[in-house]
Structure 1
Amino acid sequence: MSTENASTQVPEVIDFSKMDPKFRDEVTERLKNIDWSQCLACGMCTAGCPYSDVHGNNDPRKFLRKLVLGMREEALKDPFIWNCTVCERCTVECPMGVNFGVITRGMRGQFGIPTPGFMDKVVNEHIESGNQMDVPADEYMETIEWIEEELQEELGDPDYKVNVGKVGAEFIFGLNAREIKYYSHELQEILKVFYYAKADYTLGLHRWDCTNLALFSGKNDDFCEIQRPFFEEAVRLGVKKIVVTECGHAFKSTMLFYEKFWDGPKFPIISVLEVYDQWIKDGTLKVDPSRNPEPCTVHDPCNLVRKCGILDANRNVMKAITTDFREMYPNRMYNYCCGAGGGALAVPESKPMRMEKARRKVEQIDATGATTVAIPCHNCMDQFTDMNKEYKKGWKCTHITPLLAKAIVVPDWAKKEEEE
């Protein structure tokens, strides 16, 4: 370092007189069962974060040291708390297994830190209406009836019915409310796949949305008030399993509630991608990959893959239904967050920061040469749509289900029904 640079550099000053030795104990008490006392201050968390050097106030090591040192005021006012996408990429690298995403979520929800954007508004509406998109019950049923009519014509089966509120089905299928409000054509594709697989499923009648923005705000009372009624619907309908739609946020919300807060009957919680993977492997669904010949890659949503361990179902399905699958690197547990995690999409003023973070993902995709990007998460899909426009890439962004539906070889029994 030159003498000139050294003389002009201003070191960060830590005022020891402002440190509160009780703050560390308070954090430990409020973040119950989260052990962060083993931190070695080694900096591997910061090295593992893809965005620690992209913009300011995004260094996990610095934030954790503020907790350890009792820097109450500095910690509670640190922009890091909301800049962090809670993706847990730092946790993968931590030699002591300190889960930074869980710590950040807990700090958000347990210390009265103001929630930015419209997150609280959506949470309150969800509690009131029963779904994130504030869809009235009659509109929900009208949408289902419309999909039913469309599929009767498309499948050539005038007797086709969408199962809603069916008692005793093998599984209840949990939705993302956008699949009713905005993307009903995608729900139609999902139900078409279920038809060809002869799936024994039901949609919820009273509660059907598995998403939960309180996953990001960290307010556990709100989180449970939103998530519990869906589980109660599953119990009421007597299903054996809960299968969650193609959405990392919805899957993580369901798993977190089940593991930490649910005290009722036990259910396997399964991603629909795992179901697709099994159906393809056991021959329930026959597929023709030549129907998706374009270069394709797949994104690993943090909530689905790193946090919940669904490491291979998305890529197994993609490999089965496409002829030119190209892997992004790094992937699986080491994937990069798309930049919209942790509730950033609910904070409109964060878009410039989201687009800065998006560059890493853009570079990953460009390196594959893929023209189609499969994105098994609604939150991530919104981010990819924005980055596609921002960086003028021209990718085809899609969930996996439409590609699967396109690749399905119609079974003989369905062909006969069509001919009749």
Structure 2
Amino acid sequence: MEDILAKQLNPQFREEVAELLKGYDFANCLACGMCSVGCPYADLVENHNPRIFLRKVLLGMKEEVYADPYIWYCNMCELCTIECPMNVNVSALVRALRGTWDKDKIPGYLQTIVKEHIASGNQMNVSQEDYEDTLEWIEEELQVELGDANYKIPLNKKGAKYFYGFNARDIKYYPNELQTTLKLFYVAGIDYTISTKRWDATNAALFTGQTDDFLAISMPLWQEVAALECEELIVTECGHAFRSMKWGQRTYWSGKPFPIRHIIELLNELVKEDKIKLDPEAITEVVTYHDPCNTARKEGVYAAPRELLKSFVKNFVDMNPNGRMNYCCGAGGGGMAMPEYNEVRKAKGRRKVEQVVATGAEIVIVPCHNCMDQFNDLNKWYPEKARSQNMHICDLIEKALIIPKKSVNKPVFCINRRAGTPLH
């Protein structure tokens, strides 16, 4: 280990970081090492030790801190903070330091996603014409599937109870995912709306730490919820979208507050109220559930998914650890958008694969788009171990969904002008 020379330390750096971290006291560190013990990857990946990184900051080793790959290796999952006896939030520290980075030097294509989101209103840079065309296509598909020629997606409905915010990937790559969700909404008969103005709840600036970009992306969506006078914002199966909306509103929104819930919380409520009926015999496979860090550890949503799954899944087996203590899949903190760190992401993923294999699960519920991409990559990287089918919870619910017959509606048949081809 190299000597640390006092003359090379920057005594002002600690104060600079403290100014960035208003509301977070990182100086309580006892150097006990519990953060490194709690980090699932400190022993798997070189330069992935939160204790060492934090000591560099506290000692004023500014050059070493900014040269340390830990800033971008860290998944900001907050498991280290759970273990810390002084509740030092390393994730907040990492995000704050990332926020001082030159935007043109941010790794991967994170900043490209941010720029496109600000310019187009969504992270996939989908044009307004393509967005509305895809909604129209989904609407036509559902008219046929539901046997309801009068079915319409409720767009820009003022005063709706629920405003649904989702992921732009559901428009560009996976319209079938959005179709499934809207099918569940239809069966439940809920009062909701989708905006044609602002609809993408994701925000990659959550990972870059650039506050100006974060607000440029999320503020218009909060404003749209307020403008449509909706009672509640429901966020799709996307951990960082949910975190961006919830944490961002708590931190930056000065308008009239409105509740924000994860779609799983809503679906669990609808099942308990018998508005969605599920066949308890439909799912015979062994099922386990992955807790996205932004959903479970950071925002406390881990009981509702299990209550929902256990209500209709015959063979549910939890990972160990799970819930608030579950391991990050290895793709958090923007990891999916930094391909230069793919080997690091792969190494971290092995621990998640071992978790899944230990459950004997045939289906893994992965309620997050970033996590889903990571799980699918793990199936390719570790084919000898990772063989489970990865699904969103809405897709699993659809397999068990009991659709009540509606005598007033007769099945309709129409020719889909786009032949069911999703937008790419």
Quote the Cα distance in structure 1 between the aligned partners of 2:25 and 2:253: 22
| Mean Cα deviation higher: 362-371 or 403-412 | 403-412
- Assess if the C-alpha contact under 8 Å between 1:328 and 1:365 holds in 2: yes
- Cα distance in 1, alignment partners of residues 217 and 411 from structure 2: 46
Quick one: which of 398, 404, 424 aligns to 1:411?
A: 404
3-state SS of paired residue (1:242):
strand
Q: CA deviation at 1:284?
A: 1.4
Q: Does 1:84 align with 2:77?
A: no
> Aligned to 2:106, what secondary structure does the other structure show?
coil
Identical aligned residues as a percent: 49
- Residue 300 to residue 241, structure 1, CA distance change in 2 (3 Å): same
Aligned to 1:7: none
Query: How far has the Cα of 1:418 moved from its partner?
Result: 4.6
Residues 159 and 230, structure 2, Cα contact 8 Å, conserved in 1:
yes
Q: What TM-score do you get using the length of structure 2 for normalisation?
A: 0.94
| Match runs of 1:231-246 below 5 Å | 231-246=222-237
Residues 30-64 of structure 1: CA distance to partner in whole angstroms, max 9, x if unpaired? 22221111111110000000000111110000000
| Distance across 1 between alignment mates of 2:275 and 2:98 | 45
1:47 aligns with 2:40: no
Decide whether the 8 Å contact of 1:155 with 1:418 is kept in 2: no
Deviation of the 1:416 alpha carbon: 5.9
Pairs aligned (count): 409
Q: Take 1:131 and 1:287, find their aligned partners in 2: how far apart are those partners?
A: 34
In structure 1, how many angstroms separate the alpha carbons of the residues matched to 2:163 and 2:348? 36
**Dislocated runs of 4+, deviation >6 Å:** none
Matches within 5 A, 1:142-161: 142-161=133-152
Q: Which residue identity does 2:142 align to in structure 1? A: L
Aligned partner of residue 27 in structure 2, secondary structure: coil
Tell me which residue corresponds to 1:208: 199
| TM score, norm. by length of structure 1 | 0.95
Residue by residue, what CA displacement relative to the aligned partner does 1:133-154 show, whole Å, maximum 9, x if unpaired? 0001111110000000000000
The 8 Å contact of residues 321 and 403 in structure 1, kept in 2 or not, is answered as no
* 1:70 aligned residue: 60
Asked whether 1:399 is paired with 2:392, we answer yes
The Cα of 1:339 is off from its aligned counterpart by 0.3
Equivalent of 1:334 in 301, 325, 330 = 325
Q: Does 1:324 align with 2:315?
A: yes
Match of 1:219 in 2: 210
Q: Separation in 1 of the partners of 2:411 and 2:140?
A: 19
Shift of 1:15: 1.9
Aligned residue number for residue 5 of structure 1: none
Q: Runs of 5+ in structure 2 lacking a partner?
A: 413-424
Q: Which deviates more from structure 2 when the two are superposed, residues 290-299 or residues 315-324?
A: 315-324
After TM superposition, give the deviation of residue 311 of structure 1 in Å: 1.7
Q: Which one-letter code corresponds to 2:368 in the other structure?
A: C
Distance, in Å, in 2 between the alignment partners of 1:301 and 1:40 is: 29
* Distance in 1, Cα, partners of 2:79 & 2:410: 49
Q: Identify the match of residue 314 of structure 1 among 305, 312, 327.
A: 305
Tell me whether 1:164 sits opposite 2:159 in the alignment.
no
Asked if structure 1 preserves the Cα contact closer than 8 Å seen for 2:146 and 2:411, the reply is no
Residue 56 of structure 1 corresponds to 46
The answer to whether the 8 Å contact 2:114/2:213 transfers is yes
Alignment correspondent of 1:37: 27
| Distance change (3 Å), C-alpha of 1:53 and 1:150 | same
Distance 1:378 1:269 in 2: 19
1:193 maps to which of 172, 184, 192: 184
Distance 1:108 1:211 in 2: 18
Q: 1:348 aligns with which of 336, 339, 363?
A: 339
Following superposition of structure 1 onto structure 2, how do residues 262-277 of structure 1 map, counting pairs within 5 Å? 262-277=253-268
CA distance in structure 2 between the partners assigned to 1:401 and 1:74 by the alignment: 45
Counterpart CA distance in 1 for 2:74 and 2:157 is 41
Please list the CA deviations of residues 64-85 of structure 1 after superposition, one character each: whole Å capped at 9, or x if unmatched. 0011111111111111000101
Q: 1:18 to 1:415 in 2, by over 3 A?
A: farther
